[in-house]
Amino acid sequence: MTGFFDIPSDLQHSWLGLIGLHLREALLPVLAGLVAALPIAQLCARFRWLYPPVLGVTTVLYAVPSLAFFVVLIDYTGQTELTVMIPLAVYSLVVLVPAIVDGVRSVSQETLAAATAMGFGPLRRYLQVQLPIAVPAILAGLRVATVSSISLVSVGALIGNQGALGNLLADAMFYHRPVLAVNSVVTTAVLAILVDALLVLVRLVLTPWMPPGARPKRKAAARPEPAAVAGEEAAR
């Protein structure tokens, strides 16, 4: 494994620099997706008729392959980081909306009534009761969105070296250095696992009332759980 960390100079980054770039390109879209998903999910939880059409639109959006998404955006945003980040933000949004809706809906009526009786207004009730209880579901969605985002950034290499660690793959082919491809795959996978573990840790800190390792109980009905199912659509 000689030359594992010898990054070709055309990438203009060190190995650590590529990791930083990769994390930025992967995590900013997830953050943007989360910020956009919260109000949308709240609307869907409030107005039930809104949820099925929103779910339909998100399923269709999710089916659009990332490469197709990237290249169509080139016309508007050029071969830049933004072109990679916009589709990733959309995919994150699509994963997060059902996760948040399910989480917020799972709060029992009694809990809500108790909060109201304690004098909580709608906003405070949302921020201090509904959101904290929905944290496990939201973080489950966030984990899926983040891991898939980290994996998808590599595809950006196809649209003109915007793939951070994925650019190593292109160079592995140009320079016939398989070790660069190994580096890219291993680093990306380790990065994804580490960020995933970090999010599990965040959940443990945010939900001290749940025993570690406990999973939300599944309903016996044959209803597909959008978050769980969408989760399987992630790693493209």
**Residue 87 binds other proteins (CB under 8 A):** no
**Residue 71 binds other proteins (CB under 8 A):** yes
Contact string 14-53 vs other proteins (x = CB under 8 A)? ----------------------------------------
Task: For residue 159, give the DSSP letter.
Answer: G
**Cα–Cα distance, 163 to 26 (Å, whole number):** 10
Q: Least distance (Å) from other proteins to the CB of residue 165? A: 8
Q: How many CA atoms lie within 13 A of 99 on its CB side?
A: 27
Question: In terms of Cα–Cα distance, which of 127, 128, 144, 133 is closest to 199?
Answer: 144
CB-based burial of residue 135 (10 Å sphere; 0-12 exposed, 13-18 middle, 19+ buried)? middle
Q: Position of tokens 């203009």?
A: 12
What Cα–Cα distance (Å) separates residue 122 from each residue in 91, 116, 126, 129, 234? 29, 8, 6, 10, 34
Contact string 144-173 vs other proteins (x = CB under 8 A)? x--xx-xxx-xx-xxxx----xx--xx-xx
Angle at 199 (CA atoms; ends 212, 103), nearest 5 degrees: 75
**Residue 234 binds other proteins (CB under 8 A):** yes
Q: Least distance (Å) from other proteins to the CB of residue 109? A: 23
Contact string 175-204 vs other proteins (x = CB under 8 A)? -x-x--xx-xx--xx--xx--x--------
- Binding other proteins (rule: CB under 8 A), the pick from 63, 117, 123, 205 is 63
Which residues make up the interface to other proteins (CB under 8 A)? Answer: 59-60, 62-69, 71-72, 74-75, 144, 147-148, 150-152, 154-155, 157-160, 165-166, 169-170, 172-173, 176, 178, 181-182, 184-185, 188-189, 192-193, 196, 218-224, 228-229, 232-236
